Amino acid sequence: MSTPATAPPAPASLKRIVAASLIGTTVEWYDFFLYGSAAALVFNQLFFPGSDPLVGTLLSFLTYAVGFAARPLGALVFGHYGDRLGRKKLLVVSLLMMGAATFAIGLLPTHAAVGSVAPLLLTGLRLVQGFALGGEWGGAVLLVSEHGDARRRGFWASWPQTGAPAGQLLATGVLAALTALLPEAAFVAWGWRVPFLLSGVLVGVGLWIRLSVDESPVFKAALAQAEERRAGEPAVERLPLVAVLRHHWRDVLIAIGARLAENISYYVVTAFVLVYATEHSGLSQQTALNAVLIASALHFAVIPVWGALSDRFGRRPVYLLGAAGVGVWAFPFFALVDTRDFGLLVVAVAVGLVFHGAMYAPQAAFFAEMFATRMRYSGASIGAQFSSLVAGAPAPLIATALLADHGGSAPIAGYVVIAAVLTLIAVGVARETRNRDLAEVGSGDAEKAGSGDAAEAGPGDAEPTGRGNTDQAGSGLSGEADGPAGARAV
């Protein structure tokens, strides 16, 4: 194992960096999930009235899916500038964009006030949310991954991942409190706006903390080395997407495949379950929200545990366990929801989220360790967000359509099982990345990389990928530890 090129930061400094990433991701996921919960509960009435309840829900989930469509574009744009200007600057921009869009949703007129303009405005703001979130995830996890040392990277990098259940917890908790305190008519009339408007306060707190941290030392070192090496040479600028697909296309495919089961299972267990429990099983909105609320608290707690286990046993074993778990749990999950028993409903959602955490926790370090520093923001974001487009975006839509067509849960459970199998294949062919020194990933010269691309790379591109740690070669579908630049994970 190679010696780290940069000393790990002091514990206090690292904790501040983790806090900055966690606060930011919590705010962004709060905003994103708040929309999903509102789409399942009230948006069908407010923005798509006059439809069959399930059809109205489908339409509201369609605007929900639009946010996912914008995430790959956000990944490309934020990745491009994040690999050139640094992680911190882009994270501030993403937080401001997300907060402004969410606050604006709380001020939107409904269909009753402005007719068809209302869903158009809603869709536009959802696009802004998705664009911002597409750039947020990669920068947040990289800021922590590139500050910490390799031995505990899985643990520390898993903390920004807890922003997802923390955001879900906040969004669901606020909605649950409002539905409990307000009559249904008041909640539909104005109560649903309160959680969106509260986003302004959360963004202010997140921005204050995020501005207090330093840029990633690994990125600063890579930028300085690239500028020194290329001083006086003609620069040929290349889009990060081109560089990533040239040197890391197998890793992008692995990242996309790895996220299928993680993404689909999460949105089925947390968003679609609100529809299934209320429309099919006859449970109240409050009951379904409370179950997701309790399970999200457990999800938050287990993610750092899974992250620590990935440091001890490796990213792949923990990830594979989670993928297999959600596949096995798919049929029991719906069977427990169908009992209409609150305790069993909590068990159904909680177990599903525990298995999801086994995939989500090591994902941050796993993806960061695949890519070279000067294309890491682009590579990790593109792999993650393009998968969201084909997995998370249509998951509630597909699940709702299957329920409408078949009237039961078996096809939906089968859908989750298929996703789990695909993820098992993708992670199964990957190579272990634990303990890799991020400063040395992709630091090899052209001869080691096995390509002549070094002379072509512009200052905005990462250097061609090198061998890194030969005992822990990066993932690749070809199964080779090294070889041509396009056939290596790092």
- Residue closest to 120 by CA, chosen among 183, 57, 178, 48: 48
* pLDDT of res. 450: 31
CA 232 to chain centre: 40
Report, in angstroms and rounded to the nearest whole number, the Rg of the chain calculated over CA atoms: 22
How far, CA to CA in Å, does 115 sit from each of 31, 48, 111, 118, 122? 25, 10, 4, 6, 12
How far, CA to CA in Å, does 164 sit from each of 124, 155, 279? 23, 16, 26
Token pair 């690999």 in the structure block, residue:
83
> Is residue 382 within 8 Å of 367, Cβ to Cβ?
no
Separation of alpha carbons 334 and 408, rounded Å: 9
* pLDDT of res. 48: 74
Please compute, for residue 27, the number of CA atoms within 13 A of its CA located in the half-sphere on the CB side.
34
- Residue closest to 431 by CA, chosen among 469, 383, 481, 388: 481
> Is residue 163 within 8 Å of 28, Cβ to Cβ?
yes
Separation of alpha carbons 211 and 204, rounded Å: 11
Q: Which two tokens stand for residue 234?
A: 């003609």
Coil/strand/helix, residue 340: coil
Positive or negative torsion for Cα 53, 55, 57, 63: negative
Q: Which two tokens stand for residue 419?
A: 């996703």
> Is residue 307 within 8 Å of 154, Cβ to Cβ?
yes
* pLDDT of res. 98: 87
Coil/strand/helix, residue 476: coil
Mean pLDDT, consecutive 10-residue segments, the chain of 490 residues? 47 77 83 76 77 65 75 88 83 88 91 84 88 85 82 92 88 83 88 89 82 77 69 51 81 94 93 87 85 92 97 97 98 95 96 97 93 85 86 85 88 96 97 83 38 34 37 36 33
Token pair 């890194």 in the structure block, residue:
468
DSSP per position, 374-406: GGHHHHHHHHHHHHHHHTTTTHHHHHHHHHHHH
* pLDDT of res. 259: 95
DSSP per position, 130-187: HHHHHHHHHHHHHHHHTTS-GGGHHHHHHHHHTHHHHHHHHHHHHHHHHHHHS-HHHI
Residue type, 262: E
* pLDDT of res. 441: 59
Token pair 């104005």 in the structure block, residue:
190
- How many secondary structure helices (H) and strands (E) does the chain include? 21, 0
CA angle centred on 373, ends 368 and 376, rounded to 5°: 50
